[in-house]
Structure 1
Amino acid sequence: MALIKEQINILIVDDEENIVEFIKMGLEAEGFKVYAAYDGNDAVYLAREVNPQIIILDIMIPGMNGYEVCSEVKKTIKTSIIMLTARDEIDDRVRGLDLGADDYMVKPFSFKELLARINARLRNSFPELTNVINIGDFRIDDGAHEISFENKLLVLSPTEYNLLRYLLLNNGLALSKQTIIENIWGYDFNGEQNIVEVYIRYLREKIGDKEHSIIRTVRGVGYRMLVV
């Protein structure tokens, strides 16, 4: 995803300096403005000072723990929180999400996966900072109202553009035909549901998806875009 990165602040909160440096180095190389805190109290103070769009927050930190930081920060700041932990317990995940966390990663993790999750959070929570979105081999340029695939511009009708964009922004999620109709054709659409099948076929032809491995059919549900 191409973003106005100089406007994006990311706060890393972890008491392990090597992890902080590893993440900080990678994010700065991507063009983000990165801040770091090593305990919960400093994290809350710094969050209020710099208003980060993303907080990468370890649970087991000195002072206020990650859960407390998450709860406190979410009261006053619009931010997306990705919680980090060495513990892979369902209860821990549920507790964090209930307190307002937006995503969850278990250590150890790859930087590539973390970056993908950051981009997803920015795309969903701060669309105003997005001008061009890269998802796998697809490139969405909302300004030009164009989508490219494998560096080739796709010739799309307005409906095809809107449908492909919607599928891409919901990459990985199974979407029912009704949901697709409501978002692309509108709630007052009175036509047949097979309109979705028709346009999915158009899109598959245009991106060469003969095996249906990119736009997948989910039996009994609808369709799922799967781009990695």
Structure 2
Amino acid sequence: MISILVVDDDPHLRKLVRVYLEQNGYLVTEAPDGEAASDILLNQTIDLAIVDLMMPNKDGFQLAGEVREDYDIPIIMLTARGSITDKAKGYQAGTDDYMVKPFEKEELLFRVQAILRRYDRAGSQTIRLNEMTLDKRSYEVKIGTTTMLLPLKEFELLYYLASFPNRTFTRDELIRHVWGMDFEGDDRTIDVHIKRLRERFKRYSDAFTITTVRGIGYKLEVS
């Protein structure tokens, strides 16, 4: 699953972008400024960054330069500053695209999709857990010559946890990312699906384990 980092000091804009991109099948992580974004990039696999220009601590120009130097991921600059000077400076810092606020969220999605195609990230739909492979295109789990087909939500929950190994998620976060914002059930749904995954893969503990973090939620640990 494609992972996108949204960096902006406006929490309302971050939420708008996150919710829309999640509705279109992307994993989204938020950062309120450039320094927080740098920490996330060190600890998570990110496929694309959407970056505001004017931020405290580390601005978009500085972050774009850092990303271009240390990571091979595309950058979309999303800012209220639309002068040709600012655009030139943004492209010189290493951004791949530049959008001026206010913007249409549909256009942002089109640009995300186009840039991911150029970077050949759109087809990146597999995760390896030692000898096990999760394939989002076919919703199959492959272990050696064995292929397993899981119920849809079990696969999506496992795939999401595996996208961020060793990261702890609350039950509410897992509900939101796997079942969606409009889910009307309760967080016991997560416990039931985790139990089923553990039973299903108890013979494959050499690939991964799903650990309960007491009082918080769950995390997937790669063996």
Q: Scaled by the length of structure 1, what TM-score is found?
A: 0.53
SS of 1:83's partner is strand
Structure 1 residues 39 and 116: alpha-carbon distance in aligned structure 2, compared to 1, 3 A threshold: same
The alpha-carbon deviation at position 51 of structure 1 amounts to 2.8
1:127: how far off? Answer: 4.8
What's the counterpart of residue 26 of structure 1?
A: 20
Report the counterpart of residue 53 of structure 1 in structure 2.
Answer: 47
Match of 1:76 in 2: 70
> Which consecutive segments of 4 or more residues in structure 1 shift more than 3 A?
none
Please give the alpha-carbon distance, in whole angstroms, between the structure 2 residues aligned to 1:30 and 1:48.
26
For residue 113 of structure 1, report the CA deviation from its aligned partner.
Answer: 0.2
The structure number with the bigger radius of gyration is: 1
Question: C-alpha offsets along residues 11-56 of structure 1, whole Å, 9 cap, x if unaligned?
Answer: 0000101000000000111111100000110111112222311100
For structure 1, list consecutive stretches of 5 or more residues without a partner in the other structure: 1-5, 132-228
Counterpart of 2:56, as a letter, is P
3-state SS, counterpart of residue 105 of structure 1: strand
Distance (whole Å) between structure 1 residues aligned to residue 71 and residue 124 of structure 2: 20
Match of 1:12 among 1, 6, 25: 6
- Report matched runs for 1:39-188 at 5 Å: 39-127=33-121, 129=123
What SS class does the counterpart of residue 129 from structure 1 fall into?
A: coil
- Structure 2 unaligned spans of 5+: 126-223
Q: CA RMSD in A?
A: 1.4
Mapped to 2, the partners of 1:87 and 1:51 lie a distance apart of 29
The aligned runs of 1:178-217 (5 Å cut-off) are: none
Amino acid paired to 2:64: C
How many residue pairs were aligned?
125
Residue identity in the other structure for 1:14: D
Change in CA separation of 1:92 and 1:52 when aligned onto 2, cut-off 3 Å: same
User: How far apart in 2 are the matches of 1:97 and 1:13?
Assistant: 17
Counterpart Cα distance in 2 of 1:126 and 1:36 = 23
AA of the residue aligned to 1:29: Q
Q: Deviations over 1:136-184 (max 9, x none)?
A: xxxxxxxxxxxxxxxxxxxxxxxxxxxxxxxxxxxxxxxxxxxxxxxxx
User: Does the 8 Å CA contact 2:7/2:31 hold for their aligned counterparts?
Assistant: yes
Question: What percent of counterpart residues are identical?
Answer: 38
- SS of corresponding position for 2:15: helix
3-state DSSP class of the match of 1:84?
strand
Letter in 2 for 1:67: F
- 1:77 deviates by 0.9
Give the alignment's TM-score, normalised by structure 2.
0.54
Aligned-residue offset at 1:117? 0.3
Distance in structure 1 (CA, Å) of the matches to 2:21 and 2:44: 16
